[in-house]
């Protein structure tokens, strides 16, 4: 498992700076994955973002 998934599971207990970095990391990766899904014609922008967040 990715260390970010472990940190996300303990998000509320992380120091503020660490939680900001974990959120930024997740946001960047969700954006990238949503773009890849959209480029692959998986759906419109909103549905691709929802799918990326679920993944």
* pLDDT tens column, 33-55: 999 999 999 899 999 999 999 98
* Torsion sign, CA atoms 3, 51, 53, 45: positive
Rounded to an integer, the average pLDDT of 7-31 is 86
Tokens of 18: 């660490």
Q: Note the helical H segments in 1-55.
A: 3-9, 16-39, 45-54
Q: What does pTM read for this prediction?
A: 0.76
CA 5 to chain centre: 10
Q: Which residue has the higher pLDDT, 2 or 14?
A: 14
């Amino acid at each position: 498992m990715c260390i970010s998934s472990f940190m996300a599971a303990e998000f509320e207990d992380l120091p503020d700076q660490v939680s900001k970095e974990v959120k930024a990391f997740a946001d960047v990766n969700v954006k990238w994955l949503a773009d890849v899904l959209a480029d692959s014609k998986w759906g419109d922008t909103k549905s691709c973002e929802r799918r990326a967040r679920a993944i």
